[in-house]
Structure 1
Amino acid sequence: MTIRITARIAIEEDELQEDFLRASGPGGQNVNKLETAVQLRFDAMASPNLPTTMKERLVALAGRRITKDGVLVITAQRHRTRERNREDALERLVALLREAATPPPPPRRATKPTRAAKARRVDEKTRRGATKRLRSTRPDD
């Protein structure tokens, strides 16, 4: 089965590896008995479906969630059921990949203020100064 990331990019489900482990936190007796937490692994660097630029952005976005080998690891244990944790991990993976797929905004070009903008700024400063001068409590000379 294919997982759609964008209109052009999709990953195959067999590229994902799921491991189940015991979740920490609340859950009563289930915490000690059942393996409800999901650890989803996706080898991003070996994936043939991701463009190189997207892989670079993914490494920057993932931070500590990506290993030195380029394997993205997402652990989900928010929910009490294994199925819901699987869905949560997959949703988080898709969200991260979509964020990596969007290109960065173009760099900002520095511009100088116009002459009119400079004049407006000076006029406003003069008006503010006059207002503050009128507020002073010193007697007139």
Structure 2
Amino acid sequence: MFPPRYSNPDYWKESGIIQEARFQTSLSGGKGGQNVNKVSTKVEIYWSPSTSAVLSEDARARVLEKISSKIDNDGEIRVTCDTSRSQLQNKKTAIDKLSILLAFCFKENKPRKASKPTHASVKKRLESKKIQKDIKANRRKGNYE
């Protein structure tokens, strides 16, 4: 249905999604000493799949269906990163997160192959049933023989 390249995060980095995204920086908490108080290292990416020119109608529907829980009231996906002390590194990490999220939408799950339970698991299940049967049989009234 969709080309296999859609499930590759590198494809989404080069597809033009980043040009449609809106970047916002802010002060980040955590490690960094005085750097935390002075430099805006936290990076947030806002991207709206419903208005994207890069996505086809089918791809847009797939993205909206798969990651509907990550879309806010404005119809945007928000990805944040504040792990590094560098704004540039956080920006790269946030772009990676967004591209992995989009690639996840197009990943095809392998069909599950039905398998039989192992001999040991069947034996263990039957043994536990026998123990439970004996416990309940000992509780019965009139079993004084």
Alignment TM-score, normalising by the size of structure 2: 0.62
Closer, same or farther: CA 28–42 of 1 in aligned 2, 3 Å: same
- Aligned residue in 2 for 1:73: 78
Q: Could you say which structure has the greater relative contact order, defined with CA pairs below 8 angstroms and 6 or more residues apart? A: 2
Question: How far apart, in 2, do the equivalents of 1:87 and 1:49 lie?
Answer: 20
Q: Name structure 1 gaps, 5 residues minimum.
A: 130-141
- Aligned residue in 2 for 1:26: 31
SS in 1 for 2:51: coil
- Aligned residue in 2 for 1:54: 63
Question: How far apart, in 2, do the equivalents of 1:90 and 1:27 lie?
Answer: 22
SS in 1 for 2:62: helix
Q: Name structure 2 gaps, 5 residues minimum.
A: 132-145
| More strand per residue | 1
Question: How far apart, in 1, do the equivalents of 2:75 and 2:109 lie?
Answer: 21
Displaced runs of 4 or more, over 6 A: none
Question: How far apart, in 2, do the equivalents of 1:41 and 1:108 lie?
Answer: 39
* Higher mean C-alpha deviation, range 11-20 or range 31-40: 11-20
- Aligned residue in 1 for 2:138: none
**What letter matches 1:57 in structure 2?**
K
| More helix per residue | 2
Shift of 1:54: 2.6
Shift of 1:48: 3.3
Query: How high is the sequence identity, in percent, across the aligned residues?
Result: 24
Closer, same or farther: CA 45–107 of 1 in aligned 2, 3 Å: farther
User: Aligned pair count?
Assistant: 115
Closer, same or farther: CA 57–108 of 1 in aligned 2, 3 Å: farther
Q: Is the 8 A contact 1:5 1:94 kept in 2?
A: no
Q: Is the 8 A contact 2:7 2:105 kept in 1?
A: no
Question: How far apart, in 1, do the equivalents of 2:108 and 2:74 lie?
Answer: 24
Q: CA RMSD in A?
A: 3.6
